[in-house]
């Protein structure tokens, strides 16, 4: 299998953009090409990540996006979720047919309705949609079970929001920049009891672009390539009631990624993780399933400080999805942040320890119906 490396990355600044989606998209893609010193003609192919109409008001999202991603008369494609796009881009290089791929993802959350109405359209029109199922509703039901089964406290869950929003203060690309206390989180409105408003991710604008390359090409383009070493993905049942919400497919996705990367003890081997936590408690649950702590020990884990910026396994030094949630692009954001940590280019939110191996995770669907895990290494 050919090796694939991330050579250059670029992200939009986190705030709401006044530009049209097309121009917003162009600026970041132009930036990453400029950084790499490449013209768009020199890139092998382009894979974008964008969800269509529900996240843009435009059907066939890639049609409108095509110009801004620099794809005029180029080979390319689009995947609906940006972690898929990244992996698809890697596949193109592994196949031996391309040496460089520009992978990008984009959305302007500020133009769309809230995530709750949008995710309610994941549901079938006969059963799940009419009984009010959306991602937040299922997350809240998942959280109640999590606390109930493992005696996790609401405060421990809220602690994730405190930690991640705190980290975001040091990330120039984060959307929400606000220091919050445990009390702030606990006192915020119980929008989906037991979920509180500050435990739910915002809606953000975001364009992110990544240049990936084959081994030979990567070494020419950068002296700090970040290698893809593991990938795993797994899909769960559609109807949340058909599964145990606390025993989903993340374990399987992680198992696959660790096997590919040759990782036996993720807790020791992973130096930093960017975990997709649209709801605060999910970071704890996902960390358990990623093997960062034992089953039901997510609460203890956050209390120990292990996942803080200076901890032994920092989780979401970027502030995570709780700080920045450009929905279909957030998976690629995790990958970019993990790559920046390995490159040592995360700036003020660079973790204290030396980062050799980083994990990026992405999930979407009710209660984490689909998970992708990507392992990057120096």
Binders in 304-343 for other proteins, by CB under 8 A = none
Q: Which residues neighbour 131 within 8 Å (Cβ) at sequence distance 6 or greater? A: none
Instruction: Pick the piece of the chain touching other proteins (CB under 8 A) from 72-80, 164-172, 264-272, 340-348.
Output: 72-80
The footprint of other proteins on residues 89-148 (CB under 8 A) is 90-92, 94-97, 108, 110-114, 116-133, 136-137, 140-142, 144-145, 148
Minimum CB–partner distance for residue 58 and other proteins (Å): 7
Confirm or reject binding of residue 52 to other proteins (CB under 8 A).
yes
Q: Among residues 3, 15, 35, 57, which is the contact residue for other proteins, using CB under 8 A?
A: 57
Could you tell me which of 103, 286, 363, 317 has the C-alpha nearest to residue 207? 103
Residue 249 near residue 368 (C-beta atoms within 8 A): yes
Phi, psi of 113, deg, nearest 5: -65, 175
Q: Among residues 3, 15, 80, 300, which is the contact residue for other proteins, using CB under 8 A?
A: 80
User: What's the token pair of residue 331?
Assistant: 């998976």
Nearer Cβ to other proteins (13/110) = 110
d(CA 210, CA 189): 37
Nearer Cβ to other proteins (117/262) = 117
Burial of 131 (0-12, 13-18, 19+ CB in 10 A): exposed
Nearer Cβ to other proteins (248/314) = 248
Strand 272-274 with 357-364, pairing: parallel
Residue 358 near residue 272 (C-beta atoms within 8 A): yes
For tokens 């497919």, name the residue: 249
Confirm or reject binding of residue 368 to other proteins (CB under 8 A).
no
The footprint of other proteins on residues 223-262 (CB under 8 A) is 231-242, 245, 249, 252-253, 256
Instruction: Pick the piece of the chain touching other proteins (CB under 8 A) from 14-22, 166-174, 289-297, 301-309.
Output: 14-22
Nearer Cβ to other proteins (271/277) = 277
């Amino acid at each position: 299998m050919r090796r694939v490396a991330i050579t250059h990355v670029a992200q939009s600044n986190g705030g709401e953009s006044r530009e049209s989606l097309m121009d917003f998209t162009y600026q970041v893609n132009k930036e990453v090409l400029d950084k790499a010193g490449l013209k768009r003609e020199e890139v092998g192919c382009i894979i974008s990540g964008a969800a269509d109409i529900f996240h843009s008001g435009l059907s066939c999202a890639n049609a409108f996006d095509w110009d801004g991603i620099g794809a005029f008369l180029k080979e390319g494609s689009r995947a609906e979720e940006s972690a898929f796009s990244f992996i698809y881009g890697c596949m193109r290089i592994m196949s031996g047919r391309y040496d460089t791929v520009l992978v990008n993802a984009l959305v302007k959350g500020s133009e769309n309705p809230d995530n709750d109405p949008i995710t309610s359209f994941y549901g079938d029109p006969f059963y799940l949609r009419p009984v009010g199922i959306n991602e937040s509703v299922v997350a809240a039901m998942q959280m109640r079970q999590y606390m109930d089964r493992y005696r996790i406290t609401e405060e421990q869950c809220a602690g994730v929001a405190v930690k991640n929003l705190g980290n975001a203060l040091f990330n120039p690309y984060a959307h929400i920049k606000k220091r919050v206390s445990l009390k702030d989180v606990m006192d915020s409105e119980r929008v989906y009891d037991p979920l509180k408003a500050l435990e739910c991710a915002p809606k953000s604008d975001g364009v992110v672009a990544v240049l990936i390359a084959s081994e030979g090409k990567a070494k020419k383009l950068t002296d700090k390539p970040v290698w893809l070493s593991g990938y795993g993905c797994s899909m769960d049942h559609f109807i949340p009631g058909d599964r145990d919400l606390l025993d989903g497919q993340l374990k399987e996705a992680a198992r696959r990624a660790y096997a590919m990367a040759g990782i036996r003890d993720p807790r020791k081997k992973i130096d930093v993780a960017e975990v997709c936590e649209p709801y605060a408690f999910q970071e704890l649950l996902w960390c358990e399933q990623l093997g960062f702590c034992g089953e039901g020990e997510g609460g203890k884990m956050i209390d120990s400080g292990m996942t803080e910026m200076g901890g032994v396994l920092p989780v979401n030094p970027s502030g995570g999805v709780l700080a920045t949630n450009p929905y279909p692009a957030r998976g690629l954001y995790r990958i970019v942040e993990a790559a920046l940590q390995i490159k040592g280019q995360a700036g003020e939110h660079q973790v204290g320890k030396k980062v050799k191996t980083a994990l990026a995770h992405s999930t979407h669907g009710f209660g984490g119906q689909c998970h992708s895990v990507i392992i990057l290494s120096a």
